[in-house]
Amino acid sequence: MICGGIDLGGTKIEARLFSGPQTETIDLRRIPTPRGSYDELLAGLEEQIAWLEERAGISGLPVGIAAPGVIDPDSGKMFTANLPASGHSIRHSLNARLGRDFPVVNDCMAFALSEARGGAGQGSNSVMGLILGTGVGGGYCVDGAFPHRHGGLAIEIGHVALPASAVARHDLPLWRCGCGRTGCMETAVSGTGLSNIAQHVLGERLSGQDLVERGAEQVFDIWADITGECLLTIQLMLDPDCIVLGGGLSNLPDVVARLEHGLARHALANTRTPKLVRARHGDSSGTRGAALLAKGK
């Protein structure tokens, strides 16, 4: 079955056409995200929907949309920092304009769905998708479906506070988070957090790739130790069978082994830790999850 997925981001709107039993990408198109107004944003989404239908040769093609932020499960209204969509329901607006339904889901939840269905989490009863990118966020699936989320939040693990023991162990400052709080997990575990640690240890803000090239093991050891605390928090709250890693930092060398070691250092005695794996569908996983939701598989 052919279906489409759209990844609505702060800088681009990516549309992917999927086909086959494994829901594989057969074509994709990216356009800049219109940020001037909500109507312009909707027009950009309509343009991508029209392109998907044209490429598929199917009017009424099932299309799902993955978007950042909080999406209220009842009203569909969004709260998002980087799009002119807060207070609006994209799903209801597109239904009114185009006369059919386009499911809209948080991008981290879409990622988890994709990896639970035909991805790296296939065969696991409960799958946590952990995205380690510019920020940190996650999604969660049980038996290949979303559990009920009361307020539309995904797994906002990035905004859980850093453990005081980790801050003290590495003599870290408390960094201000983009959410407005201070000392969030995201400020040390994300790509931005890795650069924060580099600044603290080496006196320079360096990217992950720069740190790999320099062989900055001290920075990576601190990052893996704190990310191990993050993984323990996920285990204690959700106890998933499998944690699938996505985002730019999931491509670091030996990342699975580093984080398995980090989690093992902090895990409670006599508990079975979740399996850690890299995402199978990479950058397409969130878009693929939205497409799976649209076609109802």
Q: What per-residue confidence (pLDDT) applies to 179?
A: 86
Task: Give pLDDT tens digits for 130-166.
Answer: 999 989 999 999 999 999 877 788 999 999 999 999 9
- Residues of the chain with pLDDT > 90, as a percent, come to 91
Q: What is the pLDDT of residues 11-46, one digit of tens each?
A: 999 999 999 888 999 999 999 999 999 999 999 999
Across the chain, mean pLDDT equals 95
Domain layout of the chain by residue ranges: 3-110+283-295, 121-279
pLDDT of residue 178: 86
Q: Among candidates 295, 291, 294, 283, which has minimal Cα distance to 9? A: 283
Query: What's the start-to-end Cα distance of the chain, in Å?
Result: 10
Residue 297 has what pLDDT?
59
* CATH number for the segment(s) 3-110+283-295: 3.30.420.40
Burial (CB count within 10 angstroms: exposed 0-12, middle 13-18, buried 19+), residue 32: exposed
Q: Class of the 121-279 domain? A: alpha beta
Burial (CB count <10 Å: 0-12, 13-18, 19+), residue 227: buried
